[in-house]
Amino acid sequence: MKLHSYFRSSASYRVRIALNLKGLSYETVPVHLLKGGGQQLTPEYLTLNPDGLVPVLITDDAPPTTLMQSLAIIEYLEEIHPQPPLLPEKALDRAFVRSIALAIACEIHPLNNLRVLRYLVRNLKVNEEDKTLWYRHWCEHGLASIEKILVRDARVGKFCYGDSPSLADCFLVPQVANAQRFECDLSRMPTVMRIHETCMALDAFVSASPPKQPDAEN
Amino acid sequence: MKLHSYFRSSASYRVRIALNLKGLSYETVPVHLLKGGGQQLTPEYLTLNPDGLVPVLITDDAPPTTLMQSLAIIEYLEEIHPQPPLLPEKALDRAFVRSIALAIACEIHPLNNLRVLRYLVRNLKVNEEDKTLWYRHWCEHGLASIEKILVRDARVGKFCYGDSPSLADCFLVPQVANAQRFECDLSRMPTVMRIHETCMALDAFVSASPPKQPDAEN
């Protein structure tokens, strides 16, 4: 499989974690989101993904199939390589795990995407300080909500669900990494941070992290 | 089941369509997002969903379970009531259907959510005209990308996938309804609009639409 990925993209990071947890090998195809106006916007890349976003997974099927959207990719990996499972067995528990992932994928990350921050600056003339406040606002609000959801639920263990990593952790860790990079206040989220720490003790998470990627920069 | 819903909420609309397609009966609990500062922000509602968002589905289990996030809810409905299916059988096709839903759930809708529009106006002092341009930008950009994805894929039929409604259509129709309400330019999306029209000939979609809800207003 080939993963079109950018080292700092948290959506790419989610898929890298899932691939590692499943023990699946893949080739990284770096897509630099900033160089030359953004390699995700070249005609060649837009043929792969008309939305101009990473990640894209190219499968080993004949002919190879192009998969988009990190959650759709991870659900696909779960279906074709069920071991180790990233979703629990029972439907109610699966819904819980997916809802944590989606609270990150839908309520936090889209607001802090590169193209959204660019729109704020270029079209709405938002200054650097207000852009940073915007970033932190959605990150802190969203992670604080997830903290409340996690702290009250008996299904939470060492990880978001029980004592082994799930799809929810694949989403949580990259979002915390982004929050740390933008110096968000994470003091109100002890459960989120405890789970993040537990994950970052595992090689599957560490080797998926931005600094470990072939296209990493300082 | 009880669905905490607001008639105009497109995330609620998605779940209403899925419930109707599955032939599942439910009770609507209206949550007015505007009245009295927003009923989704009352302490009582925040106990249900700490993120302060609709929809929330309360299951018929003993004790009842609270489910959040429209896609997690619809995947749950698919798992406990597999007929008629809203996802195809093959993993690659399921990924395709999910990626359409997620391109809407992650790339369009979050940017045009009530609380985001409020932040633009209240915190960033964006005027009405620029707010409308923002809304239309993400809607038109996102739906144009989906058009390109649909128009090139042989799996697209009368609906987003084949000739019966899928999870992707549950997401497409409410997003088009929002786009029409905000007078977006939909002329570049003939496939999207053709599928929307096909869906709106079905009672499952029509009876889930905002004007048909018990809490509907003019």
- 10 Å CB burial of residue A76 (0-12, 13-18, 19+) is buried
pLDDT average, residue stretch B95-113: 97
Contacts of B42 (CB under 8 A, 6+ apart): none
Q: Which residues of B5-23 are buried (b: 16+ CB within 10 A; e: fewer)?
A: bbbbbbbbbbbbbbbbbbe
Tally C-beta pairs within 8 A across A and B: 130
Q: Do A94 and B109 touch (CB under 8 A)?
A: no
Mutation target among A124, A149, A191 for the B interface, most CBs of B within 10 A: A124
**Structural domains present in chain B:** 2-84 (3.40.30.10), 91-205 (1.20.1050.10)
| Model pLDDT for residues B68-98, shown as the tens digit of each residue | 999 999 999 999 999 999 999 999 999 999 9
Which positions in chain B touch A65 (Cβ < 8 Å)?
A: 92
Q: List chain A pLDDT tens, one digit each, 218 residues.
A: 999 999 999 999 999 999 999 999 999 999 999 998 899 999 999 999 999 999 999 999 999 999 999 999 999 999 999 999 999 999 999 999 999 999 999 999 999 999 999 999 999 999 999 999 999 999 999 999 999 999 999 999 999 999 999 999 999 999 999 999 999 999 999 999 999 999 999 999 999 999 999 999 97
Measure the CA–CA gap between A13 and A18, rounded to whole angstroms. Answer: 9
> How high is the pLDDT of residue A158?
98
The overall average pLDDT reported for chain B is: 97
% of chain B exceeding 90 in pLDDT: 98
Closest-CA distance, B117 to chain A, in angstroms, reads 11
Mutation target among B45, B54, B73, B102 for the A interface, most CBs of A within 10 A: B102
Closest-CA distance, B68 to chain A, in angstroms, reads 6
| Model pLDDT for residues A10-55, shown as the tens digit of each residue | 999 999 999 999 999 999 999 999 998 899 999 999 999 999 999 9
| Model pLDDT for residues B45-67, shown as the tens digit of each residue | 999 999 999 999 999 999 999 99
Closest-CA distance, A102 to chain B, in angstroms, reads 7
Q: Do A75 and B98 touch (CB under 8 A)?
A: yes
Nearest to B139 by CA among B178, B189, B93: B178
pLDDT average, residue stretch B16-30: 98
Mutation target among A47, A75, A135 for the B interface, most CBs of B within 10 A: A75
> How high is the pLDDT of residue A36?
86
> How high is the pLDDT of residue A110?
96
Q: Do A124 and B110 touch (CB under 8 A)?
A: no
Which positions in chain A touch B125 (Cβ < 8 Å)?
A: none
Measure the CA–CA gap between A171 and A156, rounded to whole angstroms. Answer: 15
Q: Looking at the predicted structure, is the pLDDT value of residue B161 above 90? A: yes
> How high is the pLDDT of residue B70?
98
> How high is the pLDDT of residue B37?
86
ipTM score of the complex?
Answer: 0.98
Q: Looking at the predicted structure, is the pLDDT value of residue B218 above 90? A: no
Strand order in the sheet with B2-5: B27-30, B2-5, B56-58, B66-68
Q: Are A82 and A76 in contact (CB under 8 A)?
A: no
Measure the CA–CA gap between B56 and B45, rounded to whole angstroms. Answer: 10
Task: Name the residue among B80, B99, B109 with its Cβ closest to that of A69.
Answer: B99
Residues in chain B: 218
> How high is the pLDDT of residue A201?
98
Measure the CA–CA gap between B33 and B165, rounded to whole angstroms. Answer: 29
